[in-house]
Each structure stands twice: as structure tokens, then as C-alpha cells.
Amino acid sequence: MSATLRGTLVEIRPLTLADSHALSEILRDRRSTRFLPPRVRHEAGLQFVRRVLKEQRSGTGFSFAIVVKGENHVVGQVRLMDWSRAESRAEVGVWLKRKYWGKGFGTEAVRLACLFGFRSMRLHRVVAKVVSDNGGSAAMLRKLGFRQEGTLRREARVGRTWTDVWVYGLLRGELRGLRTV
């Protein structure tokens, strides 16, 4: 399976250093990064891209740029990380430029990344972790067929508050919006 996947709204293709600038713009927007792990919140685009490409070379994940179909600009990233080959599972993470929220782009980008995970990485299970205040992200995951499996109590610090994190899981065969996986 090619590492470029096309949906009806967006396509995802392998992330490159040339995408750093577009991602920097998103990482500078505090509302976009509010629910992301501190490490990502404090990175510039170039640092982020260098780190995830290094992880990719070491075989622990795959990172994609999200590109609006028909236009050639990068509006976000989606990646499969912490890949355990032994247990055929990985975690999905996504973020988009704020101006593109609410148009279905996030749902489609995560769907394509999961499809890549199940088909090319032969995953059995994809996990997502969501800060409990992040209703948009949880809604997106449920729409894709993810189920909430548990709560990590007071796991993340959002502003000054320790906040619960919900663990969502999706098993092979559960991805919605596709005829087959």
C-alpha cells in the first residue's frame, strides 16, 4: 500500500522536513495545542518534524502531512506512534490548523491513518488518548468507531489543572466509514 492515501476531502502523505514551516504555524497557536502533550506544545515545527522522522527511522511509527484535496498546502499532521510490532498496536495522534476545524478533515485524516495502520502496519489495535475536556476530539473518535475503554485519572496538566485522560481503542474491523479494512 502506498504511503499516500486519498480521501474525498483530504489526502495524507509522508511528512517531510519541508512541512516544518506549515506545522510551526499551528504549533504557535495556543488554542490548537492546548490539549497536546507538553513536549509537543513546546516544540517548533522543525523540532517536531525532526523528532518524528527520527522515530520513523527507528521503526516506531509513521507520520503524515494532511493536505486539502485539490490544494497543495499542509493543514495538519496525523501519525501512528509508539508502534509495538510484537503486539501489533500503535497510538494515533492528530492536529489541524484551527481554521480547518469542523469540516470533517480530522475524521477523514484519522480514518486514512487507521486504514494504513491496519493494512500496511498490520495492526490489530489502534489507541487514542484524549484529555477529557477535549469534546471535539472524543466526538471525532466515536464517529470513527473508537470506544472509550478507560480513564487515566488526573494524567494531563491543562493550564494549572490536573485533568483526566480518556483512553479510546479501535480494533481491526471496527473502523467506520469504509467498506473493508
- Where along the sequence are the contacts to ligand COA (CB under 6 A)? 32, 35, 94-96, 101-107, 130, 134-137, 139-140, 143
**In the complex, minimum distance from the CB of residue 176 to ligand COA, in angstroms, rounded to a whole number:** 11
**Separation CA 17–CA 26 (nearest Å):** 15
Q: How many CB atoms lie within 10 A of CB 43?
A: 20
Bridge partners for 148 per DSSP: 168
**In the complex, minimum distance from the CB of residue 137 to ligand COA, in angstroms, rounded to a whole number:** 4
SS (H, E, C) 18-49: HHHHHHHHHHCCHHHHCCCCHHHHCCCHHHHH
**In the complex, minimum distance from the CB of residue 58 to ligand COA, in angstroms, rounded to a whole number:** 23
| Residue (90 or 140) nearer to ligand COA, CB | 140
Cα torsion angle, 105, 106, 109, 114, sign: negative
| Residue (122 or 139) nearer to ligand COA, CB | 139
**Separation CA 135–CA 157 (nearest Å):** 16
> Closest residue to ligand COA, Cβ-based?
106
| Residue (6 or 143) nearer to ligand COA, CB | 143
**In the complex, minimum distance from the CB of residue 83 to ligand COA, in angstroms, rounded to a whole number:** 17
| Residue (61 or 106) nearer to ligand COA, CB | 106
SS3 category, 174: coil
